[in-house]
Chain A
Amino acid sequence: MSRESGCDGLVPLSHARPGTRLKVRRIEGGRKLCARMAALGIYPGAEVELVCAGCDCPCLVKVHGSTLSLGAGVSNKILVSGLSA
């Protein structure tokens, strides 16, 4: 049951398939969020692993060596694609 959609292959992190490795493509939601996410290691081009999503809880993402939990307000604004895309 994949919810991946969109002609350009970009989906919000909150709707990507858990357990997969993904590539961050875009961060929407303004400069401030963009800078904050970059400091946490999430920036266009970064590879992340989605541990858990779509369970009402904040998403769990592994990036580099750390685990981040991102609320819906944030994870909806991070657009990702599959690694090969």
Chain B
Amino acid sequence: MSASAKEHLFALAGNPNCGKTTLFNAITGARQHVGNYPGITVEKKEGLCSLDGRTLRLVDLPGTYSLTAYSLEELVARDFLVHERPEVVINIVDASNLERNLYLTVQLLELGVPVVMALNMVDVAESRGIRIHCDELSRRLGIPVVPTVARRGEGKEALLRAAVDVAESGRRWEPLRLSYGADIDPALQDMERLIVEKGLLTDLYPARWTALKILEEDEQVLGKAREADPALTDELLAQAAKVTQHIQKTLDSYPEAIIADHRYGYISGLLREGIVEQRWRGDRLHLSDQIDRVLTNRFFGPLIMLAILYGVYQITFTYSEVPVGWFEAAFAALGSWAESVLPEGPVRSLVVSGIIDGVGGVVGFVPLIFLMFLAIAFLEDTGYLARAAYMLDRVFRVFGLHGNSFMAFIISGGIAGGCAVPGVMATRTLRSSRERLATLLTAPFMNCGAKVPVLAMLIAAFFTENRAQMMFLLTMLAWVFALVLAKIIRSTILRGPSTPFLLELPPYRIPTFKGLMIHTWERIWQYISKAGTIILAISILLWALMTFPGLPEEKRAAFEEKRQEILNALPEGVRTSLEASETPETSDPVVVQAAAALSDLSRQEATEALKHSFAGRMGTGLEIFSRWCGFDWRTNVALVGGFAAKEVIISTLGTAYSLGDVEADESLSLSQRLQKDPHWNPLTAFAAMVFIMLYSPCFVTVTCIVKESGSWKWGLFSMAFNTVVAFLFATAIYQGGRLLGL
């Protein structure tokens, strides 16, 4: 090993909530990169920093309590240590919870990696009257121990210096050898001897560690061992089984319990005499416990939680309105600029309707996502999110979900008007993949802010008397559908036991501004960069579907002819100004009438063109199915367009009913138009509302589902499943209603 190597690789390991990420942020600042470990949803955070001319590459491993193979996080952490061989593992230890945190430390030492300990939150420990003698702890453990306060960045330089020293001393992996008592030690030694003899996995793990993992029947290690030497693995397993049986018979226990007991024994031996000094009793209730008495109170807890969630919701959707407006205005300006610069034709249409509108739709979400993630990061970093999950778990468990599913539902529109995009992304707080998938598949059933204007338009047209009640009913229906379908999904395709609820409630903490900003920024960047590319492609595709093929030449000529007829009937002077713009500033009744006739003609042409396009043909083709739920081609086209974004349903219906551009906020004319249409009645409208509520999520959401679930399969599934469910219920409502003579 040359000491002149100027780059070092360090890994940060520690329990969840020990301040690991805070320390990582304090060290690397903005110089970090977040990605996923290949194929899974565990985040991989890497950062750079420099010290005395050296470049240090730090990897923030997922927070774990141990190095078993029971969770994705543990596997990721362990594999990184074994395969990437960081020169030093910086083990962050919560000084106010020393014993349990050292359990991971012991396992790191048993694996043999060079460890430097960051004794974090020494200030919190001090405030509880605990003083820890670092030098003595360091001497007993044989590793450097550096006190830190990650929140304020205290001790980070000393820590990095210590780590660099260890890295440059060329220290090799030296596993710590613990004794596990008379029942396990002899067998472990036999197994170890066999492993060393045959060289089983010795390039990866220390022999004793492999023996220990085989004794624990660790699936990953067993798999690797079988691949390397099946015969030896069977022999080792037989020995392990003998020990396990013996322990079960004589001690009525498992090897795991004995191993844990000895590890904790070793830890309490370490801490005995003179390491931890309790200067006064910390028996008094900690502030955190006092806050918990109120916030998780049986009666006030749920009320306060509702208020907090309502606040998050308000902040996210109220304060994002203004910046969302700016983004919209900016993109509208960009659109009209492009319109004025580019010559009329398919290129202009592509740039304006395809690219600018499509990208604008995505970027328009950014302020909303920013505030939502900021609010969630705040709740998460303070420790409140864990309490909310704790209080809600019993409700959600009934439906095969988890306490943490609640946030995703609320954000997606659990109180009408959210957005499924951040909702789907919020499922990251869920650990178990089954419950997470079930949540992200059902959260889009909620009535997001884009569905609300569509629903409002239909309600205004057909349920004038009971608008508020109808909206409330639809909100309730969304919850019923989401929860019941989650239950169905969890008892069929995602069948499996619920993960036992097991959550640490971290003490309440005031989040650091830096941490909040980094958390929020990295998620937004992921959204923009990854979702942006796919979204752009799909919005161009949808634009093409609704534009091509254009009207055949003779039809276009016929429209042009009629247009000329109207123009020719006008006096010369007005004609040129009318040709320039369809809304002349004059009160001459002849001109106004002609202008109206002209724009009417354009709308008819747009309707014809839409019906002629691929999307229009799809709409017509889909009538075979959609007549079961009472939709004609116009509704179908609108629903196809709604896949781009649910707001598009209104504007497409507008085009299909020759109303010209219909903005979401001035949808009244469309309501009146639908009211008069013989095809529509309250029953059709209700079936349509249920369909719109349930059918395929918009493609931005689908993109996020793909990204969050890590596979296209679930994105496609949600499109197909939701549409089938929507179709079945809309049909049941429509046909049922007709039977009842509605």
Name A's B-contacting residues (CB within 8 A): 26-27, 30-36, 38-41, 43-46, 52, 55-58, 60, 63-74
Residues in chain B near residue A35, CB distance under 8 A: 66, 68, 70, 216, 256, 260
Residue B253 lies at the interface, judged by CB distance under 8 Å to chain A = yes
Residue B505 lies at the interface, judged by CB distance under 8 Å to chain A = yes
Residues in chain A near residue B292, CB distance under 8 A: 67
CB nearest neighbor in B for A29:
B500
Residues in chain B near residue A44, CB distance under 8 A: 253, 257, 261
Query: Do B504 and A65 touch (CB < 8 A)?
Result: no
Query: Do B393 and A34 touch (CB < 8 A)?
Result: no
Residues in chain B near residue A34, CB distance under 8 A: 254, 256-257, 260
Query: Do A65 and B94 touch (CB < 8 A)?
Result: yes
Q: Could you say which of A26, A52, A57, A71 contacts B502, with CB atoms under 8 Å apart?
A: A71
**Distance (Å) between the CB of A75 and the closest chain B CB?**
9
Residues in chain B near residue A39, CB distance under 8 A: 65-66, 68, 103-104, 260
Residue B255 lies at the interface, judged by CB distance under 8 Å to chain A = yes
Q: Could you say which of A27, A66, A70 contacts B257, with CB atoms under 8 Å apart?
A: A27
* Interface pairs A-B: 3 shortest CB-CB: A71-B501, A38-B260, A65-B97
CB nearest neighbor in A for B251:
A44
Q: Which of A32, A38, A57, A60 has the most CB of B within 10 A?
A: A38
Query: Do A43 and B505 touch (CB < 8 A)?
Result: no
Residues in chain B near residue A70, CB distance under 8 A: 500-502
Q: Could you say which of A31, A57, A64 contacts B393, with CB atoms under 8 Å apart?
A: A57
Residue B123 lies at the interface, judged by CB distance under 8 Å to chain A = no
Decide if the interface of chain A is mainly helix, strand, loop or mixed: mixed
Query: Do B96 and A69 touch (CB < 8 A)?
Result: no
| Cα–Cα distance between A63 and B101 once the two chains are bound (Å) | 12
Q: Which of A33, A46, A67, A68 has the most CB of B within 10 A?
A: A67
Query: Do B100 and A64 touch (CB < 8 A)?
Result: yes
Indicate the size class of the contact surface on chain B.
35 or more
Query: Do A71 and B500 touch (CB < 8 A)?
Result: yes
Query: Do A57 and B391 touch (CB < 8 A)?
Result: yes
Q: Could you say which of A31, A45, A68, A73 contacts B504, with CB atoms under 8 Å apart?
A: A68
Residue B266 lies at the interface, judged by CB distance under 8 Å to chain A = no
Query: Do A58 and B217 touch (CB < 8 A)?
Result: no
Residues in chain A near residue B94, CB distance under 8 A: 65
**Distance (Å) between the CB of A50 and the closest chain B CB?**
14
Residues in chain A near residue B495, CB distance under 8 A: none
Contacts A/B (CB < 8 Å), 23 sampled: A27-B257, A31-B255, A31-B256, A34-B254, A34-B260, A36-B65, A36-B70, A38-B259, A39-B65, A40-B65, A41-B103, A43-B264, A55-B298, A58-B393, A65-B97, A65-B98, A66-B506, A67-B504, A69-B504, A70-B501, A71-B397, A73-B500, A74-B501
**Distance (Å) between the CB of A36 and the closest chain B CB?**
6
Name B's A-contacting residues (CB within 8 A): 17, 65-66, 68, 70, 94, 96-100, 103-104, 216-217, 252-257, 259-261, 263-264, 288-289, 292, 296, 298, 386, 390-391, 393-394, 397, 498, 500-507
| Cα–Cα distance between A32 and B217 once the two chains are bound (Å) | 10
Query: Do A66 and B256 touch (CB < 8 A)?
Result: no
Query: Do A38 and B257 touch (CB < 8 A)?
Result: yes
| Cα–Cα distance between A74 and B503 once the two chains are bound (Å) | 11
Query: Do A69 and B505 touch (CB < 8 A)?
Result: yes
**Distance (Å) between the CB of B73 and the closest chain A CB?**
12
| Cα–Cα distance between A60 and B394 once the two chains are bound (Å) | 14
Residues in chain A near residue B386, CB distance under 8 A: 69
Query: Do A57 and B390 touch (CB < 8 A)?
Result: yes
CB nearest neighbor in B for A68:
B504
CB nearest neighbor in B for A58:
B501
| Cα–Cα distance between A31 and B504 once the two chains are bound (Å) | 21
**Distance (Å) between the CB of B556 and the closest chain A CB?**
66
**Distance (Å) between the CB of B235 and the closest chain A CB?**
21
CB nearest neighbor in B for A40:
B65
CB nearest neighbor in A for B128:
A65
Query: Do A68 and B502 touch (CB < 8 A)?
Result: yes
| Cα–Cα distance between A64 and B99 once the two chains are bound (Å) | 7
Query: Do B100 and A41 touch (CB < 8 A)?
Result: yes
Residues in chain B near residue A72, CB distance under 8 A: 501
**Distance (Å) between the CB of B435 and the closest chain A CB?**
12
> Given A44-B253, A57-B393 in contact, is the A68-B103 Cβ separation under 8 Å?
no
Residues in chain B near residue A73, CB distance under 8 A: 498, 500-501
> Given A43-B257, A44-B253 in contact, is the A60-B502 Cβ separation under 8 Å?
no
> Given A41-B103, A68-B505 in contact, is the A32-B70 Cβ separation under 8 Å?
yes
| Cα–Cα distance between A13 and B390 once the two chains are bound (Å) | 17
Q: Which of B17, B264, B386 has the most CB of A within 10 A?
A: B264
Query: Do B66 and A66 touch (CB < 8 A)?
Result: no
**Distance (Å) between the CB of A76 and the closest chain B CB?**
10
| Cα–Cα distance between A60 and B253 once the two chains are bound (Å) | 25
Residues in chain A near residue B397, CB distance under 8 A: 71
Query: Do B264 and A46 touch (CB < 8 A)?
Result: yes
| Cα–Cα distance between A52 and B506 once the two chains are bound (Å) | 16
